[in-house]
Structure 1
């Protein structure tokens, strides 16, 4: 950008959790790469060390203005530290207004997390600042979220709850297959839960935004993106921008593969033949239930494939007092060590998925993980554990890049036995049509995010629009 051109200045405000922070920083990087000035407003303290480290690396990698807000403590009906942080940030956003007002360079746009719509819309309207939201899940999930207030309006009660107005399923205009009640995030069906209150309050406010960013692309979710942008899901909905795949950026690649855990992992993978390893990981905050651990180990060992298993026995950043052998016993642990490698530390997932030895990914249906897997062209076995993950798993099945054993239910519902797990792993690893489709989707993903691709076209067009108002 030449000195004579107007400066496009974009501010970002993430929420809690790596799954919310990563997309925010990756979208910020898109605009930085196209010459925009970026201000990152980060709530402190963060919930996890991983979040804090990622923010630090981002701030070290890019020249921009970083501002922190001290959070107002909140007391709400949840024991989940991440949901508590969501509500804490919502109650602290009044601190954002003076920050935005005091910026030396006028603001062109403010982009923030989905969980902050209701408290931030009045602030951006008062400041006459274009307001955008980034959505951390699939376009299919966003269509459900945006349509929720329409469904609520059909309930005659004064305080409608999804548990009452969502019947056997939800038919969303423009989307062929309904979302069954069994796929609705469980917390949304719990009256007066924090998740329900945020969703119910924010769904109706989406039309007040100037746009929505989603980590998806047409080949992966063309039906949902079209329904959203053609006004079928909700009348008056702002543009929904599929800017995916949002991939690993420079600030995330610091020290990857050098020593420590990742060094050992890569050395182990280097010894394996192409496409022979099953990678198993349920995200950075999802703990595997003790009751499921043994059958998971049995399924992996009986599948016949080598495996890299990232095991979390506790959620979040909590220290784990007991080891895997305490849960499995020495005999089963010996079998695990014969066929696989077990990791309990944070791993750089993209580097693992991109390794030639990895031939399949057993995951929890987390949307970021799914998109990263699609980018690398690796088939998926999606086992939803909670939240939007069944809806994401359905997108995996519809797109043809993986399988979703619906009969397994939620990860916390019941124990899936080892034989079932082994059979499904074999299906994922040996189904040629999955492998072909995964490779096709990989090519489409690279085209969408490459030079001249749809993501670049969207970003450049927005920047040109914002320049007109500078």
Structure 2
């Protein structure tokens, strides 16, 4: 019997557990779709409550589209905020899940048929491993960033041991074996602040990576060949598990949301003439910076579709667009572009023929979506892993990065410079050509016989073998 026949007659059963925030949830649901398409039996474990409205709506649309996926609710214990040392709602969501992780044991043990694999969020490693080891289930994480960032994450224990865990004496560069160094200026800023919740989770989990069965990353060789080779070649750190490039995890049909006005407006614009501006689902900018972006868009002379975000969590978005952007600026932008302050269908926008460039924070999902559609990026990292992801954008040829802009809110970048850089991106034939090449590599990975399909078949064979041996 062939592997394909075996999968159809005895499909592997895989459970997935995403963590808080759309940046973590989105790749998990796209991975779930790929597993379903490869004839897996899938159980999605959903944490309650969610942090944002967007998450709960996204999960509902997913289950409506894929009724064959089983849902198990994971009810989180109340979190004592005074003991968490953070005010970030998403990091608090991570911590609530970590402190509730022991409740997973009976939940996972009760699943039928027994699991072949459990795939969970990177932010849960040190809390989930004791549970999963007791149950003897192969365990994987979905690392919700780039392979370059995973190299840094994996190497972090070695790096910090050299500096006695004191961020003040971290070297100016992190020399990761087999890879280009990471400058200190690209390290997620919260890692340089002692005793905050993000740094605590990052440190605890990076030490435990060697206990994983494997790591999934939403990437592909045409985007990150060097990092993937270093990780799987044993250069970054001894004892690392296999890293599986399962990308590009493309936008799925269930993700479509009603954005008729935006698409209608795009339909009226010339091919490649529109710059799309969005900084993701959890980046809230200052009013001063928002208004400089508006001025920059006007000065660029380009048509634009701009998504404005004023609060980290969508449930807190109360003020109207004119209050946030300013009445005068809104008047000046009339006829030049479209400004919205709602959740948009980013995949649909990036796929549109009128879109010729993307001003992005370089959240990893946004980078992969731009790569999938061959849209050049002007990288403007705001926080977290985004400078490391911006390096990938620049080195792969997918886009350009203005390092002098620093992190979001470090400095207010002036509209004149923003306009100049947008114009540079939109006029660059080289960037368009390079981005088209990255797109073609991504499409190749997903074609029949491509690297993504081969990776899944290898995994399924391993799961079938491990299940027989348990």
Pairwise TM-score range, normalised by the shorter structure: over 0.9
Query: Closer, same or farther in 2 for the Cα pair 1:2/1:455, shift >3 Å?
Result: closer
Answer yes or no: is the 8 Å Cα contact 1:281–1:363 preserved in 2: yes
- In structure 2, runs of 5+ residues without a counterpart are none
Correspondence for 1:94: 102
Of the three residues 260, 265, 268, the one matched with 1:268 is 265
User: 1:66 and 1:333 mapped to 2: Cα distance?
Assistant: 44
- Residue 3 of structure 1 deviates from its aligned partner by 9.2
Query: Closer, same or farther in 2 for the Cα pair 1:152/1:351, shift >3 Å?
Result: same
- In structure 1, runs of 5+ residues without a counterpart are none
In the TM superposition, 1:260-409 aligns within 5 A as 262-409=259-406
In the TM superposition, 1:2-17 aligns within 5 A as 5-17=9-21
- Residue 328 of structure 1 deviates from its aligned partner by 4.5
Q: Please, which moves more after superposition, 406-415 or 459-468?
A: 459-468
User: 2:325 and 2:214 mapped to 1: Cα distance?
Assistant: 49
User: 1:450 and 1:3 mapped to 2: Cα distance?
Assistant: 20
Correspondence for 1:31: 35
- Residue 166 of structure 1 deviates from its aligned partner by 2.1
- Residue 327 of structure 1 deviates from its aligned partner by 4.5
Answer yes or no: is the 8 Å Cα contact 2:274–2:357 preserved in 1: yes
Superposed structure 1 runs of 4+ greater than 4 Å apart: 1-4
Of the three residues 133, 136, 156, the one matched with 2:141 is 133
Correspondence for 2:254: 251
User: 2:101 and 2:412 mapped to 1: Cα distance?
Assistant: 42
- Residue 59 of structure 1 deviates from its aligned partner by 1.8
User: 1:107 and 1:428 mapped to 2: Cα distance?
Assistant: 48
Of the three residues 72, 78, 81, the one matched with 1:73 is 78
Normalising to structure 1: TM-score of the pair?
0.95
CA-based RMSD of the aligned residues comes to 1.4
In the TM superposition, 1:206-217 aligns within 5 A as 206-217=209-220
- Residue 338 of structure 1 deviates from its aligned partner by 2.4
- Residue 284 of structure 1 deviates from its aligned partner by 1.3
CA deviations over 1:314-363 (Å, ceiling 9, x no partner): 22113444334335443322111221101111000010001000010001
1:144 counterpart SS class: helix
- Residue 154 of structure 1 deviates from its aligned partner by 2.2
Answer yes or no: is the 8 Å Cα contact 2:287–2:325 preserved in 1: no
1:235 counterpart SS class: coil
Aligned residues: 459
User: 2:457 and 2:187 mapped to 1: Cα distance?
Assistant: 36
Answer yes or no: is the 8 Å Cα contact 1:154–1:165 preserved in 2: no
Correspondence for 1:234: 237
Normalising to structure 2: TM-score of the pair?
0.95
Correspondence for 1:46: 50
